[in-house]
Amino acid sequence: MTAIRLDAPLPGWVLDTDVVVVGSGVAGLTVALRCAEAGRRVTVVTKASLDDGSTRWAQGGIAAALGDGDTPEQHLADTLVAGAGLCDEDAVRTLVTEGPAALRRLIATGAAFDTDPATGAIELTREGGHRRRRIAHAGGDATGAEVSRALVGAVREAGIETVEHALVLDLIKDAEGRAAGVTLHVMGEGARDGVGAVHAPAVVLATGGMGQVFSATTNPAVSTGDGVALALRAGAEASDLEFVQFHPTVMFLGPDAQGQQPLVSEAVRGEGAHLVDADGVRFMVGQHELAELAPRDIVAKGIMRRMREHGADHMYLDGRHFGAEMWKQRFPTIFAACRAHGFDPVHDLVPIAPAAHYASGGVVTDLRGRTSVPGLYACGEVACTGVHGANRLASNSLLEGLVFAERIAADVAAGPVPEERTAPTAPTAPEAKSPPWEIPLLPARARADIQRVMTLGAAVLRSAASLDGAAAELRAVRDAARPAPAAPCVETWEATNLLLVAQVLVECARRRTETRGSHWREDHADRDDARWARHFLVTLTPDPVRTEAPEADEAPAARTDLADPALAVRTTAGTAFHRETP
């Protein structure tokens, strides 16, 4: 098949290694450490600085069955309920049974979690969807920062090679179609600046999420879906991109606020804060047996309904009964953020509204983190392991990164040791054997257009009309760039990646004519297990659109007009993903 890739200069420099890990969050750094321990040469590529991955923004903690009376089976049950019928049970069982030991290995690496001063036991809290206290936290509400600190320190101590401020571009494949490295662009000056290549027989995507596809998100500015876009261009399968989790309690900074917004951790509700409307009414009571601690999709929908009933653009979080000492000691990061934006949570209600937070879908993997492209792995938020289903259970994300990163490292270590290479090989373009099919680059300003379209048409509440409108507007954004594509640069590559993941998300949301988990269709308000207890598997192709024939009781799917490239969409027979890949 003719290659699909971004328009970019040919690589001007090259590195050789055994494993290239793209991303420096909990998943990427854990893979790097475990592969290095197994004797593999590792290079970590990260879009920002090494200690600036998405992990450091995580507030809540890591879920694991560590408390008295808690078991992996109970953690499994809570995860399956939150996933709304689309979790792969084998993947969830792997997560919850291997999770406690993986967490302990993280602690052995140097991460310091909050402990009971009297007993020394790890302190545990509750979050939405959990029926037990099983969330280990650090620094009160700074778990991600502590995890990142420990892993970055360990990577530096191990002497693992790193390439910072580097945007990954495309996968390099060998003549047999196996992953053979990546091209990337280093944003800086020096020996490695501009476009280069890292050659490696094992490529691990740990690039994080795609929250910047929406106007308001908890994700940092670098979360532009680069890993999913790269994998799709390389021919890998993606799934569940329609299930974008909107965190219920993101600090509301006004109707025009854009970019990364301050998160108010679910742990605040886990410790007893309440959701209230402007009249002080706890509107989640009676909507779910767990009230404010229902799974995130239910709480987000409850907030949105109350906002619509009141004609309001936000609701409130009430933690005034905590008192100053608890806010300062247990939630210092959130307390400081509130004060910085003019709220004092000790005396004031904190304005909140849902905002894009986490992609439950991504690049499809098996239980060893392998994608449908041999040699290409994925873990963390960029991956779709089947753990999260239609809605991620709170604090399972860092755990997933740990568990499946270790599984990838074990798979890599079980393979043959790469032959020693004494000098870097010459730079090559991806699949240079034939003229590549290039995607027209969008201008940098298209990023704001994509975010506006997605926020209006494909955010918390969706319909056929809103999604059809979004699809048409996204095509218009693409078509506007065709006559005169933008010049290659970081901003145009990012905008082009955002467009691709946005179009896949919208197309899958159009096809899923039901409400399930974090996918909420006002024109199809009910869950439909008979037709939709399955996943869409999406691949990208330069060929004419191919879709599988609809089932007898299913209306024909609308053709996917991405035109150059197009989507091939098929569905799984059930909720399981996992298959043995070569």
Q: Are 533 and 86 in contact (CB under 8 A)?
A: yes
Per-block average pLDDT, block size 10, for the chain (582 residues)?
82 96 97 98 94 77 95 97 96 98 96 94 92 94 92 97 96 96 88 90 97 94 96 96 95 90 91 96 93 90 93 96 95 94 96 95 98 97 97 94 98 86 53 60 97 95 96 95 94 97 96 96 96 96 54 43 73 82 47
pLDDT at 189: 67
Q: Are 247 and 218 in contact (CB under 8 A)?
A: yes
Q: Is 296 an annotated catalytic residue? A: yes
pLDDT at 420: 65
pLDDT at 169: 97
DSSP 413-436: HHSPPPPP-SSPPPP--TTTTS--
Which candidate in 296, 306, 330, 516 is catalytic? Answer: 296
Q: 3-state DSSP helix/strand/coil percent for the chain, to nearest 5?
A: 35, 20, 45
The total number of residues written for the chain in this structure: 582
- pLDDT, tens digit, 9 for 90 and up, residues 505-564: 999 999 999 999 999 999 999 999 999 999 999 999 876 544 444 443 443 344 455 556
pLDDT at 435: 47
Closest CA to 204 of 413, 390, 396, 359: 413
Closest CA to 53 of 169, 165, 195: 165
Please give the Cα distance from 240 to 507 (Å, whole number): 11
Amino acid at site 358 = Y
pLDDT at 433: 41
Please give the Cα distance from 46 to 390 (Å, whole number): 28
Q: Are 250 and 353 in contact (CB under 8 A)?
A: yes
Burial of residue 122 (CB within 10 Å: 0-12, 13-18, 19+) is buried
Please give the Cα distance from 258 to 426 (Å, whole number): 43
Please give the Cα distance from 276 to 534 (Å, whole number): 36
Number of C-beta neighbours around residue 421 at 10 A: 12
Please give the Cα distance from 256 to 455 (Å, whole number): 12
For the whole model, what pTM was predicted? 0.92
Rama region for 565: left / alpha / beta (φ>0; ψ in -120 to 50; rest): beta
Please give the Cα distance from 232 to 539 (Å, whole number): 6
- pLDDT, tens digit, 9 for 90 and up, residues 336-349: 999 999 999 999 99
